[in-house]
Every structure is written in structure tokens, then in C-alpha cells.
Structure 1
Amino acid sequence: MIGESAGPRTVGELGEFALIDRINAGRSQVAAVLLGPGDDGALVAAPDGRFVVTTDMLVQGRHFRLDWSSPRDIGRKAIAQNAADVVAMGAAPTAFVVALGCPADTPLELVDGLADGLWAEAGRVGASVAGGDLVRSRDLIVSVTAFGDLGGRAPITRSGARVGDTVAVAGRLGWSAAGLAVLAAGADRERYADVVAAHRVPRPPYAAVLDAQVSRPHALTDVSDGLLADLGHIAAASSVRIDLDATALRDSRLEAIGAALGTDAAQWILAGGEEHAFAACWRTTAELPGGWRPIGQVCAGQGVTVDGATPSGARGWESFHGGDSANRDAPL
């Protein structure tokens, strides 16, 4: 329109440092971030002299598609998958550092949406974005490093499961994989809006772990690569076998969607990931805090079984075995 201000519309037009200022404008740091963006590095408190640290990356075309997920969705997912790893160690997230790679012609509104999503999910878990980096790249890449505070407690690792423990989960299983299947099949997104939303934005039940620190589990993991794969890590680290109860894993909503799409919903539940539910081994079923439900037992032996038998089909996500699981948006 005549008279309209012709301001910058892309990352390249605005420039790196102005973009950094734009991303950080109006943001407030939590108390754990003693010094945020603006210097050579951030300063994050480590109250008991230690911190949990983890990092993960999202790559366009491999982990997300912009025609399936909004920039805000992608930002939230990038934080959630890292926050879940911190919480799965028994720690409370305190700060995130984000590295963003994008083409020079990336619209500023895309970066705005991404930043809003990053901050929204960081705030949901009581943390903030302490800093990061920007770089020009061919595709959109979001890499997050997360820090967490153990509060003087020992970390909860994968190696503590004991024979006789109850295996339980907090959160939903298979919904993200079902949402991906709906998108990939071109099915009615409105009809299946609940699972599509679960795929676009994971909702890890952080409080189910952080509020259960009095009765801590023996072993804990988040379900990012699929239930069989992630419980397999606990079984291997603890030198035990985990036997799952197929009945306890059934989900009537997923079974209905699976029937409509001609897919076995059990595969979504066993091999899907990315909801970042939590799976843990507790001493007894009676110890389970609110938000947890039993799905199996820890037994002598090795590996993961379902009703005593080795399950067939997909086993879960593995980055360099593309196509082995349905818990990522699309292979290249």
C-alpha cells in the first residue's frame, strides 16, 4: 500500500545483532539465570555445585515440516524434548541455551513465532532462555542445550531398576505417532485434531516427576524414542528384563484411529515417541504418586517383553536407521 513503511521482512534484511535484540526484547529471566544475553556467555546458578546438562537438535525435513507445524509449535517442541531429558534425571530445568540456523530469506515472523514457542515452553517448566547463537544455514535448525538443578539430591539414572519393581508411566503413549500417521496419510486433521496436536506440541507431564521427589523411582527415563526402545535402555543399564502388560497399554482412542487408517495402534504405543511421557521403575504399585499408572514388572533376564513374549514390529527411533519408526515427521 502507498505510504506503508517498508521495514525489514527477512532475517537477512534485519541482520544478526538486530535479530538477537528482537528475539530478546521484553523477555524476563528467571532467578537461576544470573546473567542472560548480552555478554560472551550466560551465567547460570548451580546451587548445590552441580547441574544436569543435555542437548538435542531439530532439523527441518527430518524432525519437523513447516506445512505441518507452526513456528511456535516447533519452538515449544525444541524446549520440551530437552526439558524432559533434564526432568528424567530428577532435576528441575533452570535455563536453556538455543542455537538457531536458518537461511537469510527466513521471514522474521517465523523467527518471532519460534522464539515465542521457546519462551512459552521454558516458562511452563519454570525456566528461561539464557542465550544462544545464530548462524546462516541451508535449512532451519534448532539446537537446544538445557541445564537443571538436582536440589541436593542424587540423579535418577537408568541403572537402578530392581527385580520386582513396578514399571509405570506418566503421560500418554502413541499419540504423537498417531498424529504423524494422520498427517502423512492426508486424513481429516479436524477429525483427529487431538492426536495431531499431540504430535505438533508434546506436553511432558513434568510435575508428575518433580512433585514425586519424596517417593523417588529406582530408574527413570522419558519416552522420546519409543516405549520399547527407552525401556530397553533401562533394562540394559540395570541388567534386568522388563515385561509389559498389553492390556494396561491399550488406548481406545488410538485403536479407533488405527482401525480407520488400517494401522495397528499397538505399534504407535510401543514404538512411537516424542510425547515425552515418563517411564519409571518403582518399588511397589502402592508407591505410585498421582499421575502414574502401572504397565508392567521388572523381572530377571534381559530385554523388554510384552506378556512374556518378544514383540514383533518396529522397535523405536534411531537417528541413522531412517524409517524404522513413525515418531519423526518425515525422513529426508
Structure 2
Amino acid sequence: MGPDSSYDAETVAQVGEFGLIDRVTSGRDHSAGTLLGPGDDAAVLAAPDGRVVAATDVLVEQVHFRFDWSTPRQVGRKAVAVNLSDIAAMGAVPTGLLVGLGCSPETPAEVIDELAAGMWEEAQQVGIGLVGGDMVSAQAVTISVTALGDLRGRVPVTRAGARSGDVLAVAGRLGWAAAGLAVLGRGFRSPVAVVGAHRVPEPPYAAGPAAAAAGATSMIDISDGLLADLGHIAAASGVGVDVRTDQLPVPQRLSEVASALGADARHWVLTGGEDQALAATFPPGAELPEGWTAVGAVDEGAGVTVDGREYEGGSGWEHWRR
């Protein structure tokens, strides 16, 4: 299902590629690190650190978003947020965004205006902008965002540094987007808090660099679910990771929604994706930065356990799995 019919009749085919690019980019403010913005063959960004952190995500209509569940502006914000959280997970600070957009010729031009507005809104939360990209014809609205970042002299925090004895901690919301998806899947539009969490995640952007500065040994953003993404840290680091449910917060609001739907709020927290929270490991005795909560530990085993046992409820989202 495409965008609703409340938009103006003018389509992207009528506006044209270059007219559409102008509508997306003109009159926008860029950060001081953008030396040359949109309008040439490529953008030029400053790289004070001498290294560039880069991450790309692709969002496809009816797979990652639905216009009957989210507005184009909300989809635009989400498309940027899922990429900026990857930059934060490396301990880096965002510097710019490249955007590729595919849509059908019949797509209302106002939909693209709103997508772009949402992208700019989210980007400006961290003081950056859209510095370039491309637009093509496609059957479904497809958004590809590449986020760039700067490490500011720090070593990148990868998935491979966790060691036995480390403390496992998380920052940001867990389970809220999954709860929102469950609510929308039942045909409801409230509670607004959980539905809004599915529509627009709220990554803890500052928590990534803060964790790096505090000596985090490994870090990852939680896009597919806490257990699924911790599995990447466990595999890359050659360790076991145990989540302790007595330390894992389950907000009262999620418990209330789960009760109403006959679901399990703790399952949402453990396996729900798209909140774009962060998980990291810290050396024993390290002081956790503000916003981080200890939820488990690293040991000499392998894989991910919950309270010392294998979790039987599944781990999270995986493409192509049926």
C-alpha cells in the first residue's frame, strides 16, 4: 500500500529528477565540516581524525515501513536514525549523510518533500545534514542512507573486544518498537508511546562516544533484538554473554500493553528490534557513563544465554528467515 491520496496531485515524474533534488536540498543548513555540499559530482567533508566511519542501511516499503502505519516524515526520520545509531555504536560522531531514493513515477512529490523533511529533522539532532545522494525509479519506495562519522582521535569500538569478566550494559529503549509493531499489527493506533517508538526510534546518539571515552571494550547497536545482536559480539569476541533478567528493566508501560495483548513484555525487551539502543561491554570495575545500565556479564563460554540458560523464545529479526 502506497502513500494515501491526501497529497497534492503533482507527481515526481512531473517535477523531474533535478527539480526533486532541488526541493530536497535547497535552503538547508550544513555543518561546518561540510566543505562542499549537494550540487556537484560529489560532496567534500572534513575528516579531522584522518579516518572516516561509514555505515549503510536500506529501508524498503512494506518490509521496513508502511505508509498506512507511518507518515513519510516519520519514515524519513527512521531511515536516518537507523544509520546514525551505527555510527554511535563505533564510538564516533556523525559528520554527514548520503541518501539514495527509489520510487515510482506516480509517487506524489509531496511524499518526497515529507521524507526529506524527516531526514533533515533527524540529521539536525546531531548537527549534520544531507550532503548528496541519488534518485531512481523503483516499484516500491526504497531508501538507502549512508552515514559518515569521525572518531575524534579515539580507537573504534568494535564487536570483537569483549573479554571474560567484562560488564554488559545497555543504553536507550528496549522492547518499545516491538510493542508498537504488535499494537499496529492488531489494528490499533494507541498507546501513542509504543506506536510512536515503532514509527520513529530514539537512539541514544551521545551514549556511543561516551562509552568509547569510558573504555568500552565492545559495542553494537540493537537493530535486530538484544539477544540477536549480542550474538554478534559473542561470536566476534570469542566469548559467552549472559543477560540477567533481574537487572534488565521492563518498563511498566510495556507490561501493561503486553497484558492487554496477551504477550510477554520481557520477550519484547530481549528480542525486539528497531529501538536502535546500544549494548556495550566495559572492563570490570569501570564506572558506567550516564544513561548506561548494567544488565549482565561476559564469560569464557560461547553464545548468548539468559540467566545462564539458552533462551527458547527466539533471538530476534533475521532477513530471509521464514
The normalised TM-score by structure 2 is 0.95
CA distance in 1, matches of 2:215, 2:180: 32
Deviation sequence 1:132-190 (CA, Å, 0-9, x none): 00101111000001110011211000111111111010011110000000000113x23
Note the alpha carbon deviations across 1:91-142, whole angstroms, 9 max, x for none.
1010000000011111121111100111111111221110100101111000
The residue type paired with residue 200 of structure 1 is: R
- Which residue identity is paired with 2:237? S
Structure 2 CA distance, aligned partners of 1:276 and 1:171?
Answer: 8
Aligned to 2:242: 243
Mapping 1:150-169, distance limit 5 Å: 150-169=151-170
Instruction: Output one character per residue of 1:21-40: Cα deviation in whole Å (capped at 9) or x when no partner.
Output: 11112111111111111111
Q: Which residue of 2 aligns with 1:258?
A: 258
> Does the 8 Å CA contact 2:88/2:206 hold for their aligned counterparts?
no
The alignment partner of 2:144 has SS state of strand
Residue number in structure 2 paired with 1:281: 281
Query: Which range is displaced more, 87-96 or 206-215?
Result: 206-215
Paired letter, 1:129: L
What is the identity, as a one-letter code, of the residue corresponding to 1:318? Answer: E
Distance 1:61 1:133 in 2: 21
Q: 1:174-189 counterparts in 2 under 5 A?
A: 174-187=175-188, 189=189
* Residue 211 of structure 1, CA deviation: 3.4
State the one-letter code of the partner of 1:211: A
Which residue is equivalent to 1:298?
298
Using the TM superposition, name which of 33-42 and 58-67 deviates more. 33-42
Match in the other structure for 1:209: 208
> 1:214 is aligned with what amino acid?
A
Q: Please give the secondary structure, in 1, of the residue aligned with 2:246.
A: helix
Query: Residue 289 of structure 1 aligns to which amino acid in structure 2?
Result: P
Query: Post-superposition shift, 1:250?
Result: 4.1
State the distance in 2 between where 1:31 and 1:319 align. 38
Does the 8 A contact of 1:53 with 1:86 survive in 2?
yes
CA RMSD of the aligned region, Å?
1.3
CA distance in 1 between partners of 2:157 and 2:207 (Å): 14
Q: Deviations over 1:232-280 (max 9, x none)?
A: 1101111111111112224122122111101112221111111110000
Look up the match of 2:109: 108
Distance 1:31 1:160, change over 3 A: same
Determine if contact 1:166/1:294 at 8 Å carries over to the other structure.
yes
Question: Residues 97 and 131 of structure 1 are in contact (CA less than 8 Å); yes or no, is this contact kept in structure 2?
Answer: yes
SS across alignment from 1:211: helix
1:39 aligned residue? 40
Structure 1 residue 285: Cα displacement: 5.5
Letter in 2 for 1:95: G
Partner residue, 1:307: 307
Once residues 102 and 17 of structure 1 are traced to their aligned partners in structure 2, the CA distance between those partners, rounded to angstroms, is 15
**Change beyond 3 A, Cα 1:268–1:285:** farther
The offset of 1:216, in angstroms, is: 2.4
Per the alignment, in what secondary structure is the counterpart of residue 295 of structure 2?
strand
The number of aligned residues is 314
Q: Where in structure 2 are the equivalents of 1:1-332 lying within 5 Å?
A: 9-187=10-188, 189-190=189-190, 192-251=191-250, 252-284=252-284, 286-322=286-322
C-alpha deviation, 1:48, in angstroms: 2.1
Query: How much has 1:283 moved relative to structure 2?
Result: 1.2
8 Å Cα contact 1:255-1:264 kept in structure 2:
yes
1:196 and 1:281 map into 2 onto residues whose CA distance is 30
Displacement over 6 Å in runs of 4+: none
Identity %: 55
Give the TM-score, by structure 1 length: 0.92
Which residue of the partner structure matches residue 5 of structure 2?
Answer: none
Aligned-residue offset at 1:8: 7.0
Q: Which SS does the other structure have where 1:53 is aligned?
A: strand
Residue 285 of structure 1 contacts residue 294 of structure 1 at CA under 8 Å; is this kept in 2? Answer: no
Supply the distance in 2 between the matched residues of 1:114 and 1:233 (Cα, whole angstroms).
32
Where in structure 1 are there 5+ consecutive unaligned residues?
A: 1-6, 323-332
